[in-house]
Amino acid sequence: MRSNGRKNDELRPLNLSTHVNKYAEGSVYIEMGETKVLVTATVDEKVPPFLKGQGKGWVTAEYSMLPRATHSRNQREANRGKLSGRTMEIQRLIGRALRSVVNLHALGERTITLDCDVIQADGGTRTTSITGAFIALSIAVNKIAEQHKLNVFPITDYLASVSVGIAGGRALLDLNYEEDSKAKVDMNLVMTGSGKFVEVQGTGEEAPYSRSELNDMLELGEKGISELIARQREILGPIADRIGTAGSRSGV
C-alpha cells in the first residue's frame, strides 16, 4: 500500500475546470492530487520568424512555478534574470509533445502559446501540465476552427502524460513528491489516444534499470494515460468528436 492508500497502478484524484480565465482563448485549471496547474492558451495571428511564409502554424509552451508552489520558497526566475535549465527542459518538452498531435498546416499561420503556471506542486508538474495543456489547446483550436471555418480540425489525436517510477522495488503510477524523492528511477511518458509514444524519458541516476523494469513502467503508464484521456474526452464534450478527424499531422 502507498501513502494515501493508493494502489500501485492508481492515479491521484483528478479535478478539471475549463474557461477559468476571461481573456484567454482556452483555459483549464487542473488538479492531480495536490498538484495544481493553471493553463491558458493564447492565439496569436502570426508565426515565429523561422516559419514565416510556409503556410503553417506553431504551438509552443511556457512553464513556471509560483515562488511558494513548493515546501520552501523559490526565487523567481525573473529576479535571477534567466530561466533555469529545468524550466527550459520542461517547456521544450511540453511544446514538442503538443505539436506531435497538431496538424500545423491545418492550423494555418497562427501561434498558440500554452502558459502552464504551477500554483502548487506535489510531484508530476510537467506531466500534469501536458495533460491540462491538451485541453486548453483543444478549446482554443476549436474557437479558431469556428471563427475561421477551417475545413480540417487541426488536432489529430488525444494526448496525455503521466509519471511512473520504481520505488521500494515496485513500479508505481503517478508519483507524488514524497514518492518521487525516494524513487530510484523516474520516468515521464507522453502518449496519444491511439496508444503510441510521443515521449519516453526515463532516468536512472540513482540506479540503472533493467529491460524488464522498463517494461513494467511502460505498462503502468499506458493504463494511467488511457484513464486520463477518458477524462479529457468527457470534459471536452462536443469538441472531443472533432479530434483526430484531420488524419495524420503534416509538417514541422
Which run of H or E residues covers position 82? none
Check residue 244 for interaction with a second copy (CB under 8 A): no
Q: Nearest to residue 111, comparing CAs of 58, 56, 148, 55?
A: 58
* Straight-line distance from the first to the last Cα atom of the chain, in angstroms, rounded to the nearest whole number: 45
Considering only 5, 71, 149, 238, the residue that binds a second copy (CB under 8 A) is 71
Note the Cα 161 to chain centre separation in Å.
Answer: 6
Check residue 158 for interaction with a second copy (CB under 8 A): no
Check residue 91 for interaction with a second copy (CB under 8 A): yes
Check residue 150 for interaction with a second copy (CB under 8 A): no
Contacts of 23 (CB under 8 A, 6+ apart): none
Question: Residue 174: left (phi > 0), alpha (psi -120 to 50), or beta?
Answer: left
Residue 202 — φ and ψ, nearest 5°?
A: -120, 125
Considering only 48, 88, 182, 234, the residue that binds a second copy (CB under 8 A) is 88
**By C-beta, is 75 or 151 nearer to a second copy?**
75
Which run of H or E residues covers position 90? helix 85-99
CB of 192 to a second copy, least distance (A): 5
244 known ligand binder: no
Q: Which stretch binds a second copy (CB under 8 A): 125-133, 163-171, 209-217, 236-244?
A: 209-217
Check residue 211 for interaction with a second copy (CB under 8 A): yes
CB of 147 to a second copy, least distance (A): 17
Q: Nearest to residue 9, comparing CAs of 212, 158, 232, 218?
A: 218
124 known ligand binder: yes
Query: DSSP label at 244?
Result: T
Considering only 21, 129, 138, 232, the residue that binds a second copy (CB under 8 A) is 21
CB of 193 to a second copy, least distance (A): 10
Q: Which stretch binds a second copy (CB under 8 A): 49-57, 162-170, 207-215, 236-244?
A: 207-215
Enumerate the known binding-site residues for phosphate: 86, 124-126
